[in-house]
Amino acid sequence: MRVVFTIKHEYDSYLLMAGTLRAKPATQQRSRQKRDRILAAMEQLLKERSFPDIGIADLARKANVSPATIYQRFSNVDATASVLLELYFNKVEEWARRSGRPLSGAGVPLRDALQAMADDALDQVFTLGHIMRAAYLYSRLHPDRVGTRWRELQKMALEGFRAFVRSRSSEVAITNLDDAGEVLCHLFNFQLLGPLLHAEEAAWKSESQRRRFADQLAELAFRYLQHKPQ
C-alpha cells in the first residue's frame, strides 16, 4: 500500500504522503526568507507545469535566487525533489493546524466522525493536490529515496486508524478492532487515489460530485464497521 491519507494517533491531524529529502535547517532570518521564496516558487511552478518539467534553473529564476542557494538549502541528492517534499510537509502541517477544522474526535457519533474525515480528506486533496500529486508520483518513481520514511508513514497511518477504531469500540460491530482499523486505512487511501490522480476529469469539477463521493466513502466505512460477522 502507498499511503495517501493518514490520521495521527489522536486522529485530529491529517497528513498525506511523506519523504526523506528534508530541507536543511534555516536558523537565520535571511536564510528562512530565501527558503520560503524557494518553496513559494515551487508551489507556483507546480500550478503551471508538471513536476518533471521543473528544473533547478526554473526554480532559481522564479525564486530570484542562485541555483547554488537551492543546493545549499536543500538536499544535493535531488534538490528539486527536496524542495517539493519540504513544501508538501509545510502545507500539510498548516492544513492540520488550521482553525475551524471539522470535528471527528471523541463525543462525535461514528457516522458523523467518518463524514468529517472524508470531507476533510477530499478538501485537502483538491486544495493541495498539485503538491500532493507530484510528491506521490515522485515516491513511486524513486522508492529508494523515500523508502525508510515511507515505511514509517505507513506504520503511523495504520496505527492512527487502529487508534480511531479502538476509541469507537462501543460503536463498532467487528470484534478484531486492529484488523478493522487496517481495512479502514486501506479503504481511505485507495479511494482517495482516484480524485488525487485524476482531478482534471470532468466528474471531479462538480462540487456536488465531490460531496457525493465523500458521503459515499463515509457511508462505506460506516457500514463496514457496523457489519456483524457471521
Report the chain's mean pLDDT, rounded to a whole number: 83
| Other C-beta atoms lying within 10 Å of the C-beta of residue 213 | 19
CA 117 – CA 30 distance, rounded (Å): 38
Indicate the pLDDT class of residue 19, thresholds 50, 70 and 90: very low
Query: Is the confidence at residue 120, as pLDDT, over 60?
Result: yes
Q: What share of the chain is helix, strand, coil (3-state, %, to 5)?
A: 70, 0, 30
CB distance 42 to 83 below 8 Å? yes
Please give the average per-residue pLDDT across 163-179, as a whole number: 94
pLDDT at 91: 86
Distance CA 174, CA 165 (A): 10
Question: Among 6-10, 44-48, 105-109, 191-195, which stretch is predicted with the lowest mean pLDDT?
Answer: 6-10
pLDDT at res. 56:
96
As a whole number of Å, the CA-based R_g of the chain is 19
Q: Residues 67-78: what's their mean pLDDT?
A: 88
The model's pLDDT over 105-116, given as tens digits with 9 standing for 90+, comes to 668 899 999 999
Mean pLDDT, residues 149-163: 77
Looking at 1.10.20, 2.40.50, 1.10.357, 3.40.50, the CATH number of the domain 6-21+78-226 comes to 1.10.357
